[in-house]
């Protein structure tokens, strides 16, 4: 069971406001990318976020361009879990492949506000918030392995041994 502070957002948050396209080719280091996370959605986020904080959002989080930085920017600020009513298909896949846990969860967004604390129990697959319990979908062992390794490329690097490079 781990404790997390939440940042709550609405529906249809697109990747342009999660990580602006204008920085795609200019910003390269994790720190630089992290500094602009959610810049056009919530300027308070990048300055206030702490490692371990999680995002709780509405429908269709991460729609629009499939740019990978819209996931890595959140990873670099230390967000370990993203919870939403639904994700864009590509964004969901990018999360797993980049090593952030995406959780599809209905109803949670309606009972928490930015700054609240929730408890996540990865073992039992439960989220405790505002006196209620929400179920997290179980992940297959293979997807769990990707997340545990920190993403698809690191996992495969480990599997094939880094010697070949």
Q: Which residues of 56-92 are buried (b: 16+ CB within 10 A; e: fewer)?
A: bbbbbbbbbbebbbbbbbbbbbebbbbbbbbbbebbb
Least distance (Å) from another protein to the CB of residue 109? Answer: 18
Q: Name the DSSP class of 147.
A: H
Structure tokens given for 76 = 């670099």
Complex with another protein: residue 41 or 104, whichever CB lies closer: 104
Please work out, in degrees rounded to the nearest 5, the angle formed at the alpha carbon of residue 31 by the alpha carbons of 93 and 104: 25
Residues in the site for another protein, rule: CB under 8 A?
60, 63, 66, 86-90, 92-94, 96-97, 104, 137, 139-140, 142-143, 146, 152-153, 156-157, 159-165
Least distance (Å) from another protein to the CB of residue 131? Answer: 26
Complex with another protein: residue 47 or 123, whichever CB lies closer: 123
Complex with another protein: residue 12 or 113, whichever CB lies closer: 12
Complex with another protein: residue 26 or 142, whichever CB lies closer: 142
Least distance (Å) from another protein to the CB of residue 97? Answer: 6
Least distance (Å) from another protein to the CB of residue 89? Answer: 4
Q: What are residue 83's DSSP bridge partners? A: 56, 103
In whole angstroms, what is the distance from residue 85 CA to residue 56 CA? 8
């Amino acid at each position: 069971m781990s404790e997390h502070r939440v940042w709550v957002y609405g529906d249809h948050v697109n990747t342009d406001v999660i990580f602006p396209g204008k920085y795609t080719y200019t910003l390269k280091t994790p720190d630089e990318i992290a500094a602009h996370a959610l810049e056009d959605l919530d300027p308070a986020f990048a300055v206030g976020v702490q490692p371990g904080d999680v995002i709780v959002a509405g429908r269709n989080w991460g729609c629009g361009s499939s740019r990978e930085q819209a996931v890595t920017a959140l990873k670099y600020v230390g967000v370990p879990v993203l919870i939403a009513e639904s994700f864009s298909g590509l964004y969901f896949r990018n999360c797993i492949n980049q090593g952030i846990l995406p959780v599809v969860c209905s109803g949670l967004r309606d009972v928490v506000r930015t700054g609240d604390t929730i408890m996540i129990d990865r073992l039992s697959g439960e989220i405790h918030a505002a006196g209620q319990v929400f179920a997290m979908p179980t992940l297959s062992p293979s997807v769990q392995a990707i997340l545990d390794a920190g993403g698809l490329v690191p996992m495969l690097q480990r599997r094939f041994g880094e010697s070949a490079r």
